[in-house]
Amino acid sequence: MNLGAIYFSMEIIHTIGILQPYINECKARQLQVGFVPTMGALHEGHLSLIRQSLKENDITVCSIFVNPTQFNNTNDLANYPRTIASDIQLLEKEGCAVVFIPNENEIYPSVSFKTLSIDLQDLDKNMEGKYRPGHFTGMVTVVKRLFEIVQPHKAYFGKKDYQQLKIIQFMVSYFKLPIQIIACETLREPNGLAMSSRNTRLSAEQRKNAEVIYRALLNAKQNFFTLSITQLKNRITEEINSCKDFKVEYVEIADANSLKPIIDNEKINAMAFVACFAGEVRLIDNIHLS
C-alpha cells in the first residue's frame, strides 16, 4: 500500500439544496472558497482558472451550466459542445473539490424568474453587446444567481471574454457583493489561437488558419503608434478576411476600462477587440495595445 497516496474524490452536485449546506460547512470551518463558472467543454484555458483558484483558496467550486438566456442564436445554443463526462474527469484530476451541474429549473425556478435589470453604464453597448443582443443581460443574470448560490470569496474569469469580465466587475461593485473578481490571462494554442470550447467545431484547416486572428492583433499592436485608428481597424479586418472561410464581424479599438471606442489622440490604455466567423463558428479575441 502506498501510504503517501491521497485518494481524492470530487463532489458532483446538481442541486442548490445539496450545494449550500456543503458551502456553509466550509465557511463554518473558515475555509476560503474559490469559484470558476463555466459552460463546460473544458479546455486548458478553463483549467488555468481552476489551477489559479486551487492555489489561492482552500476549496474550488466549478460550475457547468450552458445558460440558454445568454444565447441570442438558437443554433449556437444547440451546437454548443457538451462533454460532461470528460469535464468531470478533468476537474477531478486537477483537485477541484466540487463540480456544480445544475439543470435549468434549478437556476430559473419559475417562469416568472426575472432577468436582472441593471444599467451597465454603456459597458454593454459595443462589441459583443451590440452584435449579440440580450447576451450580457442573460450572462450577468446567471452569474449573479450563481454568486448567490455559491457565495465564493473569489471568482475567476478569463480576459479572453474581456467585455464580460468588465461587466461582472461592474455588477459586483454595483451590488456591493463581497466577492473578489480575479482576471486571468488568455491561454492560447501554440499557433496563437485563443483556446475556446467552440474551437472543437473548427475543421483542421480552419483551426490552422485561425492563427490569423492573433497575428493580426499582434501586428496592430506593433503599428499602434504609427497608424491611425481607422487604418489599424482596416488592417486587422483585411488580414483576417484574406483568409479562406474567415469573415470579420467587428473590429473595435476601445478603452480598456470604459470600453468606449477611442479616437486617434487618445492612445493610452487601449485594446483591440475582434469577432469573426470561421465558417459557421464565431470566434472572439482581444489584445492590449498600449
Kindly state whether residue 161 participates in binding ligand AMP, applying the rule CB under 6 A.
yes
Binding ligand AMP by CB under 6 A: which of 184, 202, 210, 254?
A: 184
Distance from first CA to last CA of the chain, Å, rounded? 56
Q: Binding mask 205-244 vs ligand AMP (x if CB under 6 A, - otherwise)? A: ----------------------------------------
Least Å distance, CB 286 to ligand AMP, is: 11
| Cell digits of residue 133 | 443582443
3: number of Cβ within 10 Å: 5
List the beta bridge partners of residue 246: 278
Least Å distance, CB 284 to ligand AMP, is: 10
Binding ligand AMP by CB under 6 A: which of 23, 98, 195, 229?
A: 195
Give the CB-side neighbour count of residue 44, counting CA atoms within 13 A.
10
Strands 98-100 and 11-13: parallel
List the beta bridge partners of residue 281: 278
| Residue with Cβ nearer ligand AMP (49 or 54) | 49
Q: Which stretch binds ligand AMP (CB under 6 A): 82-90, 157-165, 251-259, 260-268?
A: 157-165
| Residue with Cβ nearer ligand AMP (51 or 233) | 51
Q: How far apart are CA 59 and CA 65, in angstroms?
A: 20
Binding ligand AMP by CB under 6 A: which of 35, 65, 71, 157?
A: 157
Binding ligand AMP by CB under 6 A: which of 35, 38, 124, 243?
A: 38
| Residue with Cβ nearer ligand AMP (227 or 256) | 256
- List the catalytic residues: 46
Kindly state whether residue 196 participates in binding ligand AMP, applying the rule CB under 6 A.
yes
DSSP secondary-structure letter at 228?
-
What is the secondary structure of 77-138 as a DSSP string?
HHHS---HHHHHHHHHHHT-SEEE---HHHHS-STTPPPP----TTTTSSHHHHHSTTHHHH
Give the residues lining the site for ligand AMP (CB under 6 A): 38-39, 45-46, 48-49, 157-158, 160-161, 184, 186-187, 194-197
